[in-house]
Amino acid sequence: MKIVINPSERELAAALARPKLESANLDSLISDVFSTVEKKRDQALKAFTLQFDQVEIDDLVVSEIEFTEAEQAISTELKTAIRIAAQNIERFHRSQENREMEVETTSGVICWRKSVPIQTIGLYVPGGTAPLFSTVLMLGVPAKIAENPIRYLCTPPDKQGKIHPAILFAAKTAGIDTVYKIGGAQAIAAMSLGTETIPKADKIFGPGNQYVTAAKVYAQRLGIAIDIPAGPSEVLVAADDSIPTSFVAADLLAQAEHGIDSQVIFLTNDESYAQEVLKEVERQLEILPRAGIATEALDSSTVIVVEAEKWGDLINLYAPEHLIIMGKYEEQIVQQVTNAGSIFIGKNTAESFGDYASGTNHTLPTSGFARAYSGVSLDSFVKKITYQKITDEGLRNLGQTVITMAEAEKLQGHANAVKVRLDSVFPDIPSDKLQELELIGKVSVLSRKSVEGFIRKDLRDLKPYSSARDEFEGKGEVFLDANENGMVTAYNRYPDPLQQELKVAISEVKNIPTETIFLGNGSDEVLDLIFRLTTTPFLDSVTYLNPSYGMYSVLAKINGLRTKTIDLDRNFQIADSEILAQAAGSRLLVLCNPNNPTGNVIPKDRLLEIVREFEGVVVIDEAYIDFCPAYSMADEVNNYSNLIVVQTLSKAYGMAGLRIGMAIASPEWIAALNRIKPPYNLSSLVQETAIKELKTIPWNEIKTEIISERERLTDFLKSHSLVTEVFPSEANFILFRMPNASDYYKKLIEHGVVVRDRSSQFNCSETLRVSIGSKIENNQFIQIMQNL
Ligand code: PMP
């Protein structure tokens, strides 16, 4: 080895230069081999094997008997070693399996990527004196993990027509069951073109001599992929005098024995240490069986002596296939290295570990390719397919961007492919007007969004719990499907999970389509399910009026949501623009209409405007709407994908004890709510009773009576000397103000009448809320109030 000390830039370039590979003269030979294999196929392979390997092969395929013989032929010790190495290689390469995430780049634009195994993998290992069975493991194990459907190995036979038993045993261990006795350029030609016996491969892996390498380059012209551009193996060992010279010398020789063209570079910072290492190399050479090869390789190798501060740059300039770094500077230098195939750190870490058994792959980029290439890994055996899916919402959100770009590139066809879709999905607005309109806020952003887009992302593909009765279809007589108790007959059966009959009854009295109804255990449960379905805990916020129904803040808390409250003025009024401004950014806007506890309403045209303008979901809680049906938004739910109306049978229909609430929304919403609800959320007793009640209750008469009682009570309260303010109500309660309300609240209870003290709510100081009861109850209330 020659020594260069503190080389100039030019000297350094010369020291690090790799021998030029002569390949031009192989070209015609390789193209002959390929064209012969293409024409004569298996017959050509046998002829070439006779010509180049001097052996006649009858059957190219290694038989099961040959595999068994191979297993018997090698020592238990070697078998154990091969198995341990294979296990480590498998562990390391399995760690490269990574799950890729689905990303929603824009709302409704969902993209993801997946690793898909390459269909057919052809592996090659050379035969000859040193059988590279370790390479069989390095290529076979990751292919097994990648699950390439077809994977096989080509390797040349010996003079007896046999394959080295260690290669066959390693192949079996790595999950390669098919081995062909064929080597050289003809093997690569067979893999590239396919023959009667050998399947055409999509990608070819493995090392080989210059013929094999040239054939792999040729194969690429035919569209076959190869693992890595190959060149002679190389190592750069960097060490200081803290490392025993025997270690460094052994590492240099381990590389040099590979072949006469092997590249060995030793980098150190002390000339006398370098001399000691070279003496040690001489000593070890004497006992090395492949001393001849090693000596020749070392003749063209170099020792570079330079201060350690320059090592990092020098290593990056050379970009070694293997880098061994040992001694005082190892940590520091490792941080600086950006170009290397595989790095071996510290005095114990001989390259041999990585060559065989530590688990990393030994198929690495040579000849400076480490600047841009990686070694073989699990990724080498797969390709990554990207996927994308655009929902209606995505089309709306990103369509115009694509059109704008396509038109600017003058690719009208591209623009058109989006336009036709926009026009078909959103026929109401021509696509060229879309962006313009949206920018000036004239178009309903919301009416164009899909229900799907409003559902909490991680619940969109939730598989619902499927109850026994959900699954049942047809005519059953004996029901043994739901673990019910057949020995009892009263309420032993689960109720209809989708409450079909009750929905029909509600649909009739309320005049709304059955498929827009979802039922829950009170509207409290319905509200909770809506919160859960649409909001992501610790991420989203919900907006509601202040004051309003007290459960909203509880629901927000238990669902992990931030809250934004919109303060109403002293008359409980607020401008729409104020509602929209305050609610901006929230996932949910809950508006109680008529509001509880104030009793006033926001007119329907204003609500519609809010629904159109708000980015998220608007829930209109119409618990009290039956007392003022003209304001109901229930008939709008099929027009707005972001609108959900909540109603209840607790108030108007007088069934508070039965606990029946409902969401009225588009069928997509109903389906989504059904996916998350508890399977049997309304008991059969409740369902039956409610159906009967709905058929008999004279609701219109009751409503008239309640309203007239409300008017009577309002008049009474207005005339009461202690009452300072009575708030006009469209609901079945009245909020009124009387100084010292809390005292009067207690006094009313002393006389057996319980009203609600609302004084603690925002802008509700000194207020009581009284529900409209029966005539007798109302009279009692009036009487006691009069006596206060
Ligand atoms: N919303 C509002 C505005 C309410 O006032 C109430 C009950 N007080 C509910 C929902 C809940 O009603 P239920 O659960 O009885 O249907």
Q: What CATH number is given to the structural domain containing 194?
A: 3.40.50.1980
The confidence score (pLDDT) of residue 231 equals 81
- Show the tokens assigned to 255: 């590389």
CATH number at residue 664: 3.40.640.10
The confidence score (pLDDT) of residue 64 equals 96
Three-class secondary structure of residue 580 per DSSP = helix
Best mutation site among 524, 620, 645, 729 for ligand 1 pocket (most ligand atoms within 8 Å of CB): 524
| Ligand 1 atom nearest to CA at 592 | 3
pLDDT 10s digits, 673-710? 999 999 999 999 999 999 999 999 999 999 999 999 99
Interval 76-95 mean pLDDT: 96
**What whole-number distance in Å separates Cα of residue 353 and Cα of residue 343?**
11
**What whole-number distance in Å separates Cα of residue 275 and Cα of residue 125?**
38
Residue 376 lies in a domain: no
Percent residues over pLDDT 90 in the chain: 80
> Is residue 300 domain-shared with residue 351, that is, in the same domain?
yes
**What whole-number distance in Å separates Cα of residue 174 and Cα of residue 344?**
25
Residue 560 lies in a domain: yes
> Is residue 53 domain-shared with residue 146, that is, in the same domain?
yes
Rg, the chain, Cα only:
41
| Ligand 1 atom nearest to CA at 649 | 16
H helix or E strand, kind and range, residue 661: strand 660-664
> Ligand 1 atom 2: the closest Cα is on which residue?
623
The residue annotated as part of the active site, out of 258, 322, 351, 709, is 322
> Is residue 602 domain-shared with residue 503, that is, in the same domain?
yes
The confidence score (pLDDT) of residue 258 equals 86
Residue 163 lies in a domain: yes
Query: What separation in angstroms does the CA of 109 have from each of 114, 167, 672?
Result: 17, 49, 20
| Ligand 1 atom nearest to CA at 651 | 15
The confidence score (pLDDT) of residue 443 equals 36
Residue 385 lies in a domain: no
Residue 368 lies in a domain: no
Interval 108-120 mean pLDDT: 92
Three-class secondary structure of residue 124 per DSSP = strand
The confidence score (pLDDT) of residue 439 equals 41
pLDDT 10s digits, 164-199? 999 999 999 999 999 999 999 999 999 999 999 999
The confidence score (pLDDT) of residue 440 equals 38
Evaluate whether 85 touches 357 at the Cβ level (below 8 Å): yes
Q: Average per-residue pLDDT in the chain?
A: 92
Q: Which of 682, 360, 352 is nearest to 506 (CA)?
A: 682
Q: Is 521 in the pocket of ligand 1 (CB under 6 A)?
A: no
The confidence score (pLDDT) of residue 21 equals 59
SS3 sequence of 51-101: HHHCCCCCCCECCHHHHHHHHHHCCHHHHHHHHHHHHHHHHHHHCCCCCCC
Q: How far is the CA of 403 from the centre of ligand 1 (A)?
A: 48
> Is residue 285 domain-shared with residue 430, that is, in the same domain?
no
Last residue of a domain, which of 204, 226, 248? Answer: 226
> Is residue 555 domain-shared with residue 661, that is, in the same domain?
yes
> Is residue 504 domain-shared with residue 539, that is, in the same domain?
yes
Last residue of a domain, which of 177, 203, 226? Answer: 226
Q: How far is the CA of 512 from the centre of ligand 1 (A)?
A: 20
> Ligand 1 atom 7: the closest Cα is on which residue?
623
| Cα torsion angle, 723, 725, 728, 729, sign | negative
> Is residue 504 domain-shared with residue 632, that is, in the same domain?
yes
Three-class secondary structure of residue 568 per DSSP = coil
Decide the pairing of beta strands 2-5 and 302-305: parallel
**Torsion from C-alpha of 410, 411, 413, 415, nearest 10 degrees:** -80
Segments of 218-321 assigned E as strands: 225-226, 234-239, 263-268, 302-305
pLDDT 10s digits, 493-513? 999 999 999 999 999 999 999
**What whole-number distance in Å separates Cα of residue 690 and Cα of residue 652?**
13
Angle at 728 between CA 725 and CA 730, to 5 degrees: 150
Helices 76-94 and 165-173: angle between axes, nearest 10 degrees: 40
CB atoms within 10 A of CB 91: 11
> Is residue 691 domain-shared with residue 578, that is, in the same domain?
yes
Evaluate whether 170 touches 83 at the Cβ level (below 8 Å): no
Evaluate whether 593 touches 621 at the Cβ level (below 8 Å): yes
Decide the pairing of beta strands 109-117 and 103-106: antiparallel
Interval 398-402 mean pLDDT: 90
| Cα torsion angle, 532, 533, 534, 539, sign | positive
Q: Is 595 in the pocket of ligand 1 (CB under 6 A)?
A: no
Evaluate whether 630 touches 603 at the Cβ level (below 8 Å): no
Q: Is 523 in the pocket of ligand 1 (CB under 6 A)?
A: yes
The partner residues of 386 in beta bridges, in order of sequence, read 113
Last residue of a domain, which of 178, 207, 226? Answer: 226
Interval 90-109 mean pLDDT: 87
Burial of 697 (0-12, 13-18, 19+ CB in 10 A): middle
Burial of 735 (0-12, 13-18, 19+ CB in 10 A): buried
Which residue is associated with the tokens 């219109």? 700
* HSE (side-chain half, CA atoms, 13 Å) at 453: 27
Phi, psi of 293 (to 5 degrees): -60, -45
- Show the tokens assigned to 520: 């829950």
**What whole-number distance in Å separates Cα of residue 752 and Cα of residue 777?**
11
**What whole-number distance in Å separates Cα of residue 499 and Cα of residue 3?**
90
Q: How far is the CA of 549 from the centre of ligand 1 (A)?
A: 8
Is the pLDDT reported for residue 24 higher than 80? no
pLDDT-derived band at 475, boundaries 50, 70, 90: confident
pLDDT-derived band at 437, boundaries 50, 70, 90: very low
H helix or E strand, kind and range, residue 417: helix 412-425
Print the domain residue range for 69. Answer: 47-92+119-226
Is the pLDDT reported for residue 48 higher than 70? yes
Percent residues over pLDDT 70 in the chain: 96
Angle at 471 between CA 466 and CA 474, to 5 degrees: 170
* Residue 322 appears among annotated catalytic residues: yes
- Tell me which of 224-238, 728-742, 756-770 is least confident: 224-238
Evaluate whether 389 touches 110 at the Cβ level (below 8 Å): yes
* HSE (side-chain half, CA atoms, 13 Å) at 235: 29
**What whole-number distance in Å separates Cα of residue 166 and Cα of residue 129?**
13
Burial of 300 (0-12, 13-18, 19+ CB in 10 A): middle
Count helices and strands in the chain by DSSP H and E runs? 30, 25
Decide the pairing of beta strands 322-326 and 767-771: unpaired
**What whole-number distance in Å separates Cα of residue 259 and Cα of residue 497?**
76
> Is residue 64 domain-shared with residue 133, that is, in the same domain?
yes
H helix or E strand, kind and range, residue 733: strand 733-737
Q: Is 621 in the pocket of ligand 1 (CB under 6 A)?
A: yes
Q: Is 599 in the pocket of ligand 1 (CB under 6 A)?
A: no
SS3 sequence of 198-211: CCCCCEEECCCCHH
Evaluate whether 264 touches 1 at the Cβ level (below 8 Å): yes
CATH number at residue 781: 3.90.1150.10
Is the pLDDT reported for residue 446 higher than 50? no
pLDDT 10s digits, 310-320? 999 999 999 99
The partner residues of 770 in beta bridges, in order of sequence, read 734
Three-class secondary structure of residue 394 per DSSP = helix
**Torsion from C-alpha of 432, 436, 437, 439, nearest 10 degrees:** 140
- Tell me which of 362-376, 430-444, 622-636 is least confident: 430-444
The residue annotated as part of the active site, out of 66, 257, 280, 321, is 321
Is the pLDDT reported for residue 19 higher than 80? no
Residue 456 lies in a domain: no
Q: Is 656 in the pocket of ligand 1 (CB under 6 A)?
A: yes
Is the pLDDT reported for residue 470 higher than 80? no
> Is residue 553 domain-shared with residue 650, that is, in the same domain?
yes
> Is residue 572 domain-shared with residue 692, that is, in the same domain?
yes
Segments of 97-232 assigned E as strands: 103-106, 109-117, 120-124, 150-155, 179-181, 203-205, 225-226
DSSP H helices, 301-430, are: 311-318, 330-336, 351-356, 392-408, 412-425
> Is residue 544 domain-shared with residue 659, that is, in the same domain?
yes
Q: How far is the CA of 678 from the centre of ligand 1 (A)?
A: 20
Best mutation site among 518, 529, 551, 769 for ligand 1 pocket (most ligand atoms within 8 Å of CB): 551
Residue 459 lies in a domain: no
- Show the tokens assigned to 776: 């007798």
pLDDT 10s digits, 60-73? 999 999 999 999 99
| Ligand 1 atom nearest to CA at 624 | 3
Residue 205 lies in a domain: yes
The total domain count for the chain is 5
> Ligand 1 atom 1: the closest Cα is on which residue?
623
Evaluate whether 194 touches 154 at the Cβ level (below 8 Å): no
pLDDT 10s digits, 581-594? 999 989 999 999 99
Is the pLDDT reported for residue 321 higher than 50? yes
Choose the most confident range, by mean pLDDT, from 50-54, 287-291, 620-624. 620-624
pLDDT 10s digits, 524-561? 999 999 999 999 888 889 999 999 999 999 999 999 99
Q: How far is the CA of 661 from the centre of ligand 1 (A)?
A: 8
**What whole-number distance in Å separates Cα of residue 74 and Cα of residue 150?**
27
